Amino acid sequence: MKKVITGDHAVAIGAKLCRVDVVPAYPITPQTLIIEHIADFVNDGEMDAKFLTMESEHSVMSAAAAASAAGARVFTATSSQGLAFMHEMLYATAPLRLPVVMANASRTLGGPPGIWCEYNDSMGARDSGWLQVYVEDNQEALDMVIQSFRIAEDKRVLLPVMPCLDGFVLTHTVEPVDVPQQEEVDSFLPPYAPDIMLDPARPAMMGIFMPAEYIMELRRQTVGAVESAKKVIGEINDEFAKVFGRNYGGMIDTYMIEDAEVALVTMGTVTSTAREVVDELRKAGKKVGLVKLRFFRPFPVDELRKVLAGVSAVGVFDRSISYHGGGPAFNEIQSALYGMTVPVVNHLAGIGGRDVTREQIIKMFEITIKAGKGEKVNLINWHNTRGETV
């Protein structure tokens, strides 16, 4: 069934199709429409879930963790300052192996305050133990809510998952979306059946004080679960493609990369514009390719090393900044390609919600091509930024 809907509406429909049991909620722009749509579904009898209106985002994640620990399938959504406010509880949810799914509408994290798209909010939580996937369009937003529950609840993983969608670029704009039938989703996503949960009939302790003798082992187990997720993500992507006919590539997706001489790595909605630029530059005789970085956690080290092995240079797009000069994706990719001789250059753009245009992406490729020829270029490039020249 086709619907022309916003990204927020698509995410809400995804949660409904997953038959979630509990939705703790607190509003914050630009994700508020997600929980408003879910509230309508519950009120109209379309969704059999407990909708909990909380007093803050910290309380939202506290309730989400508690409900998940009691055996419920839990969904919520947040953004920016809200994600920051629940930061403490993010670090409780993952080590307790609670498969909560939370959509994050990526938004400026102030100060100064801003409500437009950048990834500094979710990037600040990248080492909390949550898996993170960055979607390109409204269809992928809906589909990744469904896939996220399968990934999170897999016994090899049992970790919370954060699908991230670009604030306003997706949350408040409409696109045609293919909405799956409930029966199809029910077949793909069985009811959540935890092995251990808080139950008065079977007393258990969870999240208790832990002495130093055991904390390293707990951290190691969490690392193992994150690593196990890589295989699970690939399996579920392939199964989803067979059932629903949409293949997202798993950890990464590629375009025109097989014979590419240089590659640009992108995340989120910028990927769509970058594909158009690849087509344009290919017609001009330039062998360029594109890598869509989908999962930031777990980070696709092996996948990136494989697809980038044959290029002469790599450009990395970042919509956020680490305050040593470069962006988080750039840092991770430099680390992932350690030992390879391919030069890696950083392209910072769209921070604070500024548009990322075709012309900027062409410039990103031009700089990366120069790096591949051994010409001197800036390691860090700020595009469309006052006082900067690229």
205 pLDDT above the threshold of 90 = no
pLDDT of residue 310: 94
CB-side neighbour CA atoms (13 Å) of 7? 28
265 pLDDT above the threshold of 90 = yes
Domains defined along the chain, listed by start: 2-244 (3.40.50.970), 252-382 (3.40.50.920)
Task: Give the mean pLDDT of the chain.
Answer: 97
d(CA 24, CA 227): 29
Q: What is the rounded average pLDDT of the residues 378-386?
A: 97
Contact 294, 242 (CB under 8 A): no
Provide the pLDDT confidence category of residue 330 given band limits of 50, 70 and 90. very high
Q: What is the rounded average pLDDT of the residues 101-119?
A: 94
- % of the chain residues with pLDDT over 70: 100
Q: What is the rounded average pLDDT of the residues 149-153?
A: 98
Q: What is the rounded average pLDDT of the residues 114-124?
A: 96
Contacts of 133 (CB under 8 A, 6+ apart): 144, 148, 161, 162, 163, 164, 294, 295, 296
d(CA 177, CA 139): 5
d(CA 286, CA 177): 33
pLDDT of residue 364: 98
For 213-241, how does the pLDDT look when each residue is reduced to its tens digit (9 = 90+)?
A: 999 999 999 999 999 999 999 999 999 99
For 287-308, how does the pLDDT look when each residue is reduced to its tens digit (9 = 90+)?
A: 999 999 999 999 999 999 999 9
d(CA 137, CA 268): 8
3-state secondary structure of 369: helix
| Predicted model pTM | 0.97
Provide the pLDDT confidence category of residue 105 given band limits of 50, 70 and 90. very high
Provide the pLDDT confidence category of residue 389 given band limits of 50, 70 and 90. confident
Q: What is the rounded average pLDDT of the residues 135-161?
A: 98
Contacts of 193 (CB under 8 A, 6+ apart): none
pLDDT of residue 110: 85
Provide the pLDDT confidence category of residue 325 given band limits of 50, 70 and 90. confident
d(CA 14, CA 348): 32
- The region of weakest confidence among 138-142, 192-196, 219-223 is 192-196
For 41-94, how does the pLDDT look when each residue is reduced to its tens digit (9 = 90+)?
A: 999 999 999 999 999 999 999 999 999 999 999 999 999 999 999 999 999 999
For 367-376, how does the pLDDT look when each residue is reduced to its tens digit (9 = 90+)?
A: 999 999 999 9
Q: Where are the alpha helices (DSSP H) in 310-357?
A: 328-336
Q: How far from chain centre, in Å, is Cα 323?
A: 21
27 pLDDT above the threshold of 90 = yes
pLDDT of residue 204: 86
120 pLDDT above the threshold of 90 = yes
